[in-house]
Chain A
Amino acid sequence: MASVFGAAVKRREDPRLITGNGRYTDDIQLPGMLYAAILRSPYAHARIRSIHVEKARQLPGVVAVFTGSDVAGKVGPIPTAWLPPNSGIKTPAHPPLAVDKVRYVGDGVAMVVAESRYIARDALDLIEVDYEVLPVVVDPEKAMAEGAPLVHDDVPGNVAFHWEAGGDPAPAFEQAEVVIRHRFRQQRLVPNPMEPRAAVAQYNAGSGDMTLWVTSQNPHIHRVLLSNILGIPEHKLRIVAVDVGGGFGCKIPCYADEALVAFAARELGRPVKWTEDRREHFLATTHGRDEVIDAELAGKRDGTMLGLRVRMVANMGAYLSTAAPGVPTILFGLITVGPYKIPYAHTEVYGVFTNTTPTDAYRGAGRPEATYVIERMADLFAKEIGMDPVEVRKKNLIPAEEFPYTTPLGLQYDSGNYHGALQKALDMLDYDRLRKEQEQLRAQGRYIGIGWSTYVEICGLGPSQVAGAVGFQGGLWESATVRVHPGGKVTVFTGTSPHGQGEETTFAQIVADRFGIPIEDVEVVHGDTDRIAMGWGTYGSRTTPVGGNAIAIAADRVLEKARKIAAHMLEVAEDDVEFTGGMFKVKGVPGRQVKFQDVVLQAYLAWNLPPGVEPGLEAQAFYDPVNFCYPFGAHACVTEVDPETGEIKILRYVAVDDCGPVINPMIVEGQVHGGVVQGIGQALWEGAVYDDEGQLVTGSFMDYAMPKARFFPKFETAHTVTPAPHNPLGVKGIGETGTIAATPAVVNSVVDALRPFGVTDLEMPLTPEKIWKITHGREAR
């Protein structure tokens, strides 16, 4: 039987999802269910003088209206759960509904609960709020300036935290022959998963049990946090998030909305549902990125990189969302040197409050920004010293023989063959020929660009000791239970919480492969705190490297026990039994064997178990990773710029990624495609824009440009395989690599295309008008 580990098995979750048989939160219908709607602030910064809810209460069908003062003391503040150490972090109270002040457009002011969604929405228009509008600050650098409006009165200078990593890079800059200084902007992005956020709460007054269906990437974290917010003990609180329609980071945080829904269900004794609409998603769900970065690279004329200094000002929005402070610090600040051997590095990060929607993780979270900076700097450096950007990379990439490699920022990169991935991409692209072609086309007035991005990223964070050391207020291990049923079928319980990534398939492959049984015999269960004891969810590309390994370990524990039983059944010593192709066989005695399923049945019948072996066949594992995982690769993008209109066309996109052994190539390719699309989305189209009053002027799909399939050529993908040495499966994450790698590859490509116009940098998104102004400027000359 060909191994199912490594096979391009079709995603088992898809038939359910694409035939409308999924069960998303908004699909839940309960008898007597009420609907909630939330009144959101139209002002970015204002004092609430008064709120009158009488008219809304009187609308037929309205059951209750709650304001900030109604829920104060009953629903606790919304916490921040990542507190980077030695950063002086300030976490001003985040009330579930504004009490005295609103701090961003979209901030919750009141909640209506009514018999229908329509009535609830109508009632919002009847609530009268008297606002005293206050001065607004939306730009994080302006927010730090003397005299800027204060978002929180008790946070001077609006600085939420100040964090540093690395040593003093002065020695590098003293030796430097060349110093490149540059400022980069990471524009704000709106995650926009297909499914907006939603919550349904049901309270059983008899037992005191609360069930909350919620769009979450990490139901157990939600349980911990909501238990505190609502004062419901964990064993009385069940969180369900089985089918979740994408998250990209914005479903990590715990929001006030779900806490309020649960509160209302308990208060009113009826189930309550709330579903965000797309307009609310733009305003009230966390955004990503939004940082200004100053970078300095010290180098020698022969192309050697010597040192890097990076200073970031990160816009945190009006409150610190659940995981937000970890993004610009740990997930950005520790990996600014990228895949290069740079002896000295230092990162400094300011997290700043502004009157904008809070930011938090967005696919890649910190690592796209770090990759963007170092990859753009590599190109700027190459240009300055007159070297090909590929040569500069080759010269500085950490050589394969130097792993594990400790960086000046304190990480230990586990394994890598960075030159190997780059070479593969060079071959796929036929780089030298393409450069010649580029020259020829330029002579004809056509502007082709080639852009590179060689990256390394951090994922599958752990061990938990390190999680604690970096201020993550939780563990980062993962749990798995592998339960073999008497008939030989298997249920796998995972504490990760896939929401589109396909682990119902890949996790089944891991177990089917180990047990030598058909994948159809394995079911993967996730996303329900009543069925899974504990876990930490899905984010940071941890699901397979951490959750997958937990499953492999649990499955091996099952096999260990099964082997004992098999040996007993075969009447030989355990050492004489080998397990292959789903059969326990006596070594060297062909034909003396017993099937996995027969052993399983014996485990349950327990008629004849070896002494000391308990009946039943299941095992649990709590896997705490030994180190982070470091996937890497090389991406290249070929673009053509139309100098007449500034329009950019992507001609080719080559992605070589290394995530260790590939469990399912089809799923890995899907992850790369989706990630690349989002990375290119940031480079070319996406961008959330606030005006000076703090109004989001890109608040809908009419003006916020999501990438569409027709914008792209067929991607050319390939892999190299360098196992992670520290986990049983050797796997690394692949969920975010595309987003991390793609953005600088595209910008480098367009800058390269426009080199004849003297262009060295462009600010994202590269909208055609920006390009046209450049090409037009030259034509006018």
Chain B
Amino acid sequence: MIPSAFAYERAQSVRDAVRLLESHQGEAKILSGGHSLIPLLKLRLTSPSVLIDIGGLSELRGISAGEDQVVVGALTTHAEVANSPVIKEKLPLLAEAARQIGDLQVRNRGTVGGSLAHADPASDLPAVALALDAVLTLEGPDGRNEIPIGDFILGPLLTALGGSDVVVSISFPIPKGRWKGAYEKYPHPASGYAVVGVAAVLAVDGGGLIREARVGITGAADTPYRAREVEAALIGKPADEETIRQAAEQADAEGSFSGDLFASADYRRHLCKVYARRALARALP
């Protein structure tokens, strides 16, 4: 658990980071909180020749809230998200998920941008980002562009991030009208990562019917996914326990499941349904 040698560069700005990534042509990696990257280096599962530390870039840090959305800088830590009064008020499920990541040390160092860029299939934030329809802002050699979370995460540890792109911020739209959200997690007893984590957002119309439903599921399958069948089974139905119970049965309809030592594919499918139901029950507005 000793990494091989690497060079270290400290980026002066996001532009500078992009320039450094470009000049090292795929040999470099961005370093944020280091809580996913450093373990990989120690196990020599990755051996970049250069680390570009963006940790000092205050432009990437912070939380700002508007009418329609909350924008979280890529370098904002999980602890900052969990404790942010603005997020607790506007998007409580995001704070709820951040609070359940790892332990105190991990939350104090790990960043939102790093978590999404790393795209660990058992990490918590993808579920919430999916349920909130989050949009990432990336900066690359050709400037900035935006990409919805659904198009960003492509597979386990695989994203649409270009070789010279930096995640700048993530914007989480605030659902309209009467709505509620919840995140329910079953942590792995060893790693603390999600065996399954379900984020649910429900909005209702004046008549008490479900107007909007989004469910993001992480951990259970090989990639975090939107449970679209569950959502379809909810829209237009009365917002009650019975609707939820039936809809949650579809929670494993998407996603490709495989087992490991701790949980078989069947068990994971089952947990998806139970945790989807529990998250939805708490998300009833």
A-side contacts of B261, CB under 8 Å: 689, 697-698, 703
In this assembly, does B109 line the interface, its C-beta being within 8 Å of a C-beta of chain A? no
Apart from A122-B5, A644-B274, A772-B267, 9 more pairs, CB < 8 Å? A118-B4, A118-B5, A647-B186, A685-B190, A703-B190, A705-B189, A711-B189, A768-B267, A776-B270
A685 adjacent to B189 (CB under 8 Å)? yes
In this assembly, does A277 line the interface, its C-beta being within 8 Å of a C-beta of chain B? yes
23 pairs, A vs B, C-beta closer than 8 Å: A117-B2, A118-B5, A122-B4, A122-B5, A277-B2, A279-B43, A645-B186, A645-B271, A684-B189, A685-B189, A689-B261, A698-B261, A701-B190, A701-B191, A702-B191, A703-B260, A708-B189, A711-B189, A768-B263, A769-B264, A769-B267, A772-B267, A772-B270
Q: How distant is the Cα of A705 from the Cα of B43 in the complex, in angstroms? A: 19
A118 adjacent to B189 (CB under 8 Å)? no
Chain A residues within 8 Å of B, Cβ to Cβ: 37, 117-118, 121-122, 277-279, 644-645, 647, 684-685, 689, 697-698, 701-706, 708, 711, 767-769, 772, 776
Known A701-B191, A711-B189, A767-B262; contact A277-B267, beta-carbon cutoff 8 A: no
Q: How distant is the Cα of A705 from the Cα of B261 in the complex, in angstroms? A: 12
Q: Which 9 A-B pairs have the closest CB atoms?
A: A705-B190, A705-B189, A277-B1, A121-B2, A769-B267, A702-B191, A685-B189, A703-B190, A644-B274
Per-position 1/0 for B223-262, Cβ under 8 A of A: 0000000000000000000000000000000000000111
User: Which of B1, B260, B262 touches A278 (beta carbons < 8 Å)?
Assistant: B1
B-side contacts of A772, CB under 8 Å: 267, 270
A-side contacts of B1, CB under 8 Å: 277-279
Q: Which of B2, B5, B186 has the most CB of A within 10 A?
A: B2
B-side contacts of A37, CB under 8 Å: 2
Which residues between 146 and 200 of chain B lie within 8 Å of chain A, taking CB atoms?
Answer: 186, 188-191
B186 adjacent to A704 (CB under 8 Å)? no
Q: How distant is the Cα of A158 from the Cα of B267 in the complex, in angstroms? A: 38
B-side contacts of A277, CB under 8 Å: 1-2
A136 to chain B, nearest CB (A): 19
B41 to chain A, nearest CB (A): 12
Q: How distant is the Cα of A708 from the Cα of B188 in the complex, in angstroms? A: 12
Which residues between 1 and 22 of chain B lie within 8 Å of chain A, taking CB atoms?
Answer: 1-5
Chain B residues within 8 Å of A, Cβ to Cβ: 1-5, 43, 186, 188-191, 260-264, 267, 270-271, 274
Residue of A nearest to B2 (CB): A121
Q: How distant is the Cα of A706 from the Cα of B274 in the complex, in angstroms? A: 26
Which secondary structure characterizes the binding site on chain B?
loop
Q: Which of B3, B43, B191 has the most CB of A within 10 A?
A: B191
B-side contacts of A702, CB under 8 Å: 190-191
Residue of A nearest to B273 (CB): A644
Q: How distant is the Cα of A157 from the Cα of B68 in the complex, in angstroms? A: 73
Q: Which of B5, B43, B270 has the most CB of A within 10 A?
A: B270
Q: Which of A277, A278, A645 has the most CB of B within 10 A?
A: A645
Q: How distant is the Cα of A37 from the Cα of B264 in the complex, in angstroms? A: 37
A-side contacts of B5, CB under 8 Å: 118, 122
A117 to chain B, nearest CB (A): 6
A-side contacts of B270, CB under 8 Å: 645, 772, 776
B101 to chain A, nearest CB (A): 14
B-side contacts of A708, CB under 8 Å: 189
Known A118-B5, A767-B262; contact A645-B274, beta-carbon cutoff 8 A: yes
Q: How distant is the Cα of A117 from the Cα of B5 in the complex, in angstroms? A: 12
A118 adjacent to B2 (CB under 8 Å)? yes
Q: Which of A118, A279, A684, A703 has the most CB of B within 10 A?
A: A703
B262 to chain A, nearest CB (A): 7
Q: How distant is the Cα of A121 from the Cα of B270 in the complex, in angstroms? A: 44
A767 to chain B, nearest CB (A): 7
Residue of A nearest to B275 (CB): A645
A-side contacts of B186, CB under 8 Å: 645, 647
B170 to chain A, nearest CB (A): 26
Q: How distant is the Cα of A776 from the Cα of B267 in the complex, in angstroms? A: 10
Q: How distant is the Cα of A342 from the Cα of B5 in the complex, in angstroms? A: 64
Q: How distant is the Cα of A772 from the Cα of B195 in the complex, in angstroms? A: 15
B-side contacts of A769, CB under 8 Å: 262-264, 267
Q: How distant is the Cα of A282 from the Cα of B4 in the complex, in angstroms? A: 21
Q: Which of A702, A767, A769 has the most CB of B within 10 A?
A: A769
A-side contacts of B188, CB under 8 Å: 705
Q: How distant is the Cα of A776 from the Cα of B191 in the complex, in angstroms? A: 26
Q: How distant is the Cα of A767 from the Cα of B190 in the complex, in angstroms? A: 12
B-side contacts of A689, CB under 8 Å: 261
Q: How distant is the Cα of A697 from the Cα of B190 in the complex, in angstroms? A: 13
B217 to chain A, nearest CB (A): 15
A-side contacts of B264, CB under 8 Å: 769
Q: How distant is the Cα of A243 from the Cα of B271 in the complex, in angstroms? A: 45
A-side contacts of B4, CB under 8 Å: 118, 121-122
Q: How distant is the Cα of A258 from the Cα of B5 in the complex, in angstroms? A: 27
A703 adjacent to B2 (CB under 8 Å)? no
Residue of B nearest to A642 (CB): B274
A-side contacts of B274, CB under 8 Å: 644-645
Q: How distant is the Cα of A769 from the Cα of B264 in the complex, in angstroms? A: 8
B263 adjacent to A703 (CB under 8 Å)? no
A639 to chain B, nearest CB (A): 15
B-side contacts of A117, CB under 8 Å: 2
B-side contacts of A704, CB under 8 Å: 190
A-side contacts of B190, CB under 8 Å: 685, 701-706
B283 to chain A, nearest CB (A): 19
Q: How distant is the Cα of A706 from the Cα of B260 in the complex, in angstroms? A: 18
Q: How distant is the Cα of A701 from the Cα of B103 in the complex, in angstroms? A: 14
Q: How distant is the Cα of A772 from the Cα of B186 in the complex, in angstroms? A: 14
A-side contacts of B267, CB under 8 Å: 768-769, 772
Q: How distant is the Cα of A708 from the Cα of B191 in the complex, in angstroms? A: 11
Q: Which of B4, B189, B262, B274 has the most CB of A within 10 A?
A: B189
B-side contacts of A279, CB under 8 Å: 1, 43
A703 adjacent to B191 (CB under 8 Å)? yes
Q: How distant is the Cα of A689 from the Cα of B186 in the complex, in angstroms? A: 22
A672 to chain B, nearest CB (A): 22
B-side contacts of A711, CB under 8 Å: 189
B178 to chain A, nearest CB (A): 29
Q: How distant is the Cα of A61 from the Cα of B58 in the complex, in angstroms? A: 40
Residue of B nearest to A118 (CB): B2
A-side contacts of B3, CB under 8 Å: 118
B-side contacts of A278, CB under 8 Å: 1
A284 to chain B, nearest CB (A): 13
Q: How distant is the Cα of A714 from the Cα of B264 in the complex, in angstroms? A: 32
Q: How distant is the Cα of A363 from the Cα of B187 in the complex, in angstroms? A: 27
A48 to chain B, nearest CB (A): 23
B-side contacts of A697, CB under 8 Å: 261
Q: How distant is the Cα of A86 from the Cα of B2 in the complex, in angstroms? A: 47
Q: How distant is the Cα of A537 from the Cα of B265 in the complex, in angstroms? A: 48
Q: How distant is the Cα of A697 from the Cα of B5 in the complex, in angstroms? A: 28
A-side contacts of B189, CB under 8 Å: 684-685, 705, 708, 711
Q: How distant is the Cα of A776 from the Cα of B43 in the complex, in angstroms? A: 39
Q: How distant is the Cα of A772 from the Cα of B263 in the complex, in angstroms? A: 11
Q: How distant is the Cα of A697 from the Cα of B4 in the complex, in angstroms? A: 24
Residue of A nearest to B5 (CB): A118
Residue of B nearest to A704 (CB): B190
B-side contacts of A645, CB under 8 Å: 186, 270-271, 274
B-side contacts of A768, CB under 8 Å: 263, 267
Q: How distant is the Cα of A55 from the Cα of B126 in the complex, in angstroms? A: 45
A-side contacts of B271, CB under 8 Å: 645
Q: Which of B4, B43, B261 has the most CB of A within 10 A?
A: B261
Residue of B nearest to A116 (CB): B2
Q: How distant is the Cα of A708 from the Cα of B104 in the complex, in angstroms? A: 13
Q: How distant is the Cα of A118 from the Cα of B274 in the complex, in angstroms? A: 47
A211 to chain B, nearest CB (A): 26
A-side contacts of B262, CB under 8 Å: 703, 767, 769
B-side contacts of A118, CB under 8 Å: 2-5
Q: How distant is the Cα of A75 from the Cα of B4 in the complex, in angstroms? A: 31
Residue of A nearest to B191 (CB): A702
B189 to chain A, nearest CB (A): 4
